[in-house]
Structure 1
């Protein structure tokens, strides 16, 4: 890493301090990672982040024109360097896209878009893969040893920030769910003159009958004062 530029080191230092943006806002963190990736790794011209959600590859944030187009191809085909990196927890490097044969449809479109090399790195948090960070370059053989080392370091810092943001997001959603369920229970308690437990049992029964989540029914009841019967 001796050849790293001062601007690259500066971006990494800034990332380590400031990626926990907006009190851990998940989308803001994703966008900050994608935006800073091409600054921290000067060889990259574009970047994209994909997360694993319910065993599916889900694009979340991009910087540049090529990533969303190539992400769509991977979603359609169910394969590609970003998916393989996430699934196998391995770094995937494409030094010369025009000679890449593992994903022919992907590589052809990438060349058409001016992407001639690529580096995909798994994002690991709490010893599990949460997704991948993909870097795109307009030059072949763009990711030499120094660039790859910097990308690995950036990815490790990004994964820490992203893991924190995901935990905060889950906690925020859990608290919001608890609040809205409490509101719904209060409505039922007042309306039917029943206890808190009885009100919750009513929500559970409606959830099973309508095949809907309790929290969704609670939101509807809190917002409209009524529950749909279908």
Structure 2
């Protein structure tokens, strides 16, 4: 069983292929429709392993958000990686990139705050919102009235936010916020799974380079096994925000300490 297959049993967020809209909604008693939700979870879990790479997983997450989170009309993910500026990936509409750019420029907005302090931020009328005076009125001019943002824990070196938008006022209820929190949690799990598989695939493709780098480290630092040498490479990769095989190639080329 692959890493993605194992994660699939626990992750529901990335089914964007089913084509059937099953919103996470509240029933008349204010509780989620568990039967529908269970069916959705199962269907999404079965198709998670079909996503071929990180980009496909990102695209599946935002499409699933629009398809399954009640009130969401368009969505995107903001990523903040060590050594890089914050950026928007996999927007479902171009307006997402435009709205997010205002948040990044002004350092205001639900997305920026969600990444900073891990709270959920919901607003039902950006035109009247006073928490982000430099951002909110501009976002409203782009046509966004409601917004819901969740921080994603992705890796030690990458943080992100899942951002949901609507053109309608008060599009997201408290119940939707709770359902979306679960959605965002599993989105983070899905991204970690996709990134882990991508890293493993890259490691296999570049195993000779990585093997040479491990040998250099073992000889230079008197390490007694390859596992310890590999951990040094992984730590250097995380600290530098460089792919593992690039760190290994750099070490071989320059023969310097990491």
Give the TM-score taking structure 1 as reference length: 0.70
CA distance in 1, matches of 2:35, 2:62: 17
Contact 2:203 2:210 (C-alpha < 8 Å) held by counterparts: no
- Whether the aligned pair in 2 keeps the contact of 1:21 and 1:28 (CA below 8 Å) is no
Residue number among 30, 44, 48 corresponding to 2:76 in the alignment: 48
Measured in 2, the distance between the counterparts of 1:215 and 1:143 equals 44
Partner of 1:215: 246
Cα pair 1:123 1:156 within 8 Å, conserved: yes
Distance change >3 Å, CA 2–CA 116, structure 1 → 2: closer
Of 118, 123, 129 in structure 2, the residue corresponding to residue 89 of structure 1 is 118
Structure 1 residue 120 corresponds to structure 2 residue 149 = yes
Q: How far does the alpha carbon of each residue in 1:90-111 deviate from its partner, in whole angstroms, 9 at most, with x for none?
A: 1011121111123233212211
Give the match's secondary structure for 2:100.
helix
- The one of 187, 197, 210 aligned to 1:158: 187
Could you tell me whether the CA contact under 8 Å between 1:125 and 1:159 is conserved in 2? yes
Of residues 130, 145, 169, the one that matches 1:140 is 169
Q: Please report how far the alpha carbon of residue 33 of structure 1 lies from its aligned counterpart in structure 2 after TM superposition.
A: 0.2
**Which consecutive residues of structure 1, in runs of 5 or more, have no partner in the other structure?**
186-195, 202-212, 220-230
1:36 equivalent in alignment to 2:67: no
Q: 1:217 to 1:12 in 2, by over 3 A?
A: closer
TM-score by length of 2: 0.63
Deviates most, 148-157 or 1-10: 1-10
Provide the residue aligned with 2:200 in structure 1. Answer: 171
Q: What is the DSSP-based 3-state SS (H/G/I as helix, E as strand, rest coil) of the residue aligned with 1:73? A: helix
Counterpart-to-counterpart distance in 2, 1:66 and 1:8: 31
RMSD: 3.6
Listed one character per residue, the Cα deviations across residues 74-121 of structure 1 (whole Å, up to 9, x for unaligned) are 222333211210121110111211111232332122111211110001
Asked if structure 1 preserves the Cα contact closer than 8 Å seen for 2:66 and 2:75, the reply is: yes
Pair 1:164–1:134, CA change in 2 (3 A): same
- Where is the helix percentage greater, Structure 1 or Structure 2? 1
The alpha-carbon deviation at position 161 of structure 1 amounts to 0.9
> Is contact 1:34–1:62 with CA below 8 Å preserved after alignment?
yes
